[in-house]
Structure 1
Amino acid sequence: MKKVLILLFVAIASFANAQTGYKVGDIAIDFSLKNVDGKMVSLSSYTDAKGFFVIFTCNHCPYSKAYENRIIDLDKKYAALGYPVIAISPSDSAAYPQDSFENMRKLANEEKYPFPYLLDETQAITKAYGAKATPQVFLLNKTKSGLKVAYIGAIDNDIENVNSQKINYVENAADALLTGKKPEITQTKAIGCTIKWK
């Protein structure tokens, strides 16, 4: 009985660690996920990138919809500076048909996404990163050691986009990296829809 309890504790601890995901300072893994154009996309294919905004988002979530234009603007502003947006949909489309690959493709075409919109069909990358909500940003910075996580969390502190005094967390973090500095704020709570796990 004691042996069974020990094995159960080890299994629970391992599962908890698997769900934890990245912390600031960790090196993020690369991936190969299908884009809405049918092509596979990997971070390693962006040879000139200085880093990435890896953003977990989806079609159905009202928070993702509220941030959609800001995500587009983020790519328009920073892709040319070496930090493109890579959007990933982690949602279970069986539970939320709005998040199907076909609907992802339709949304990306309608809104003219300037960035890839990838499907994490197995949710393995979402779990590896430790994303909890949509939208949630992982700002990665390319270093000699690999893609280091520099910031995790919300895009800003103004969901409705009405506060002129809002704090643009992710832009401030990227601006710091572009000047060779460490971001002052490296983690915030991502406010949004919880990820729908399979």
Structure 2
Amino acid sequence: MKNTMKLFFGLVIVLCVSAFTIGKTSVSEGYKIGDVAEDFSLKNIDGKMVSLSDYKNAKGFIITFTCNTCPYAVAYEDRIVALDKKYAPKGYPVIAIMPNNIAVKPDDSPAAMKQRAKEKGFTFPYLFDDGQKVYPKFGATKTPHMFVLQKTKKGNVVKYIGAIDDNYKDANAVTTKYVENAVDALLKGKEVEQKETKAIGCSIKV
């Protein structure tokens, strides 16, 4: 009986430790500042496949994980359009990726994405992360979640991760534009001062 109880408690401890380890691993997944982001190939709303390598003249990228259905993402749509209009001509185009499971969020389907892009006048690709394979590599957890990449000889290096700015409620009340500050610094050949902030938004639906 004693041996059986010891075995039982031993198994419980092993399972607890394993669960804790798995939890730690999942939290630590995703790119960190200074990592080289892998290229990807995702379908755009026009049916064409898009990769970072398609942008031969880009100096870097503003990657946003976003969607149709999250109020935070919707609140930032105009600002994302403005980012692309300002920085795409300077070599930092916006690439939007929709990471949600459309079985959970049918209003984020490719057809709905296409309609939303038309309504809002998106000037950038709006890609569907079919199979949810790309967002975990980045470590994105929210919509919106921003990543600024700089193209280097090593590859596309992660230079900023986090929020777009410091006020999702009111664009006119923003005091710090995190993404703009990061891209401006890179364009000037300087180091990004604030490399990470907390992304504010809805959890990605799996």
TM-score, structure 1 normalization: 0.92
Task: Tell me the distance in 2 between the aligned counterparts of 1:18 and 1:176.
Answer: 29
Which shows bigger deviation, 92-101 or 146-155? 92-101
- 1:124 partner SS: coil
Q: Is 1:170 aligned to 2:179, yes or no?
A: yes
Task: Tell me the distance in 1 between the aligned counterparts of 2:147 and 2:70.
Answer: 18
Summarize deviations over 1:74-130 as a string: whole Å, max 9, x none: 000000000000000001111111101110011111212100000001111000000
Deviation at 1:9, TM superposition (A): 3.4
Summarize deviations over 1:6-33 as a string: whole Å, max 9, x none: 9x83994498258620111100010000
The number of residue pairs the alignment matches comes to 196
CA RMSD after TM alignment:
2.1
- 1:21 partner SS: coil
In structure 1, the residue matched to 2:67 is: 58
Structure 2: which 5+ residue stretches go unaligned? 1-6
- 2:134 partner SS: helix
Give 2:25's aligned amino acid.
A
Structure 1: which 5+ residue stretches go unaligned? none
In structure 1, the residue matched to 2:123 is: 114
Give 2:190's aligned amino acid.
K
Which shows bigger deviation, 49-58 or 155-164? 155-164
* Conserved? CA contact 1:19–1:127, under 8 Å: no
Identical counterparts, % of pairs: 52
Of the candidates 133, 136, 152, which is equivalent to residue 145 of structure 2?
A: 136
Q: Is 1:45 aligned to 2:54, yes or no?
A: yes
Give 1:181's aligned amino acid.
K
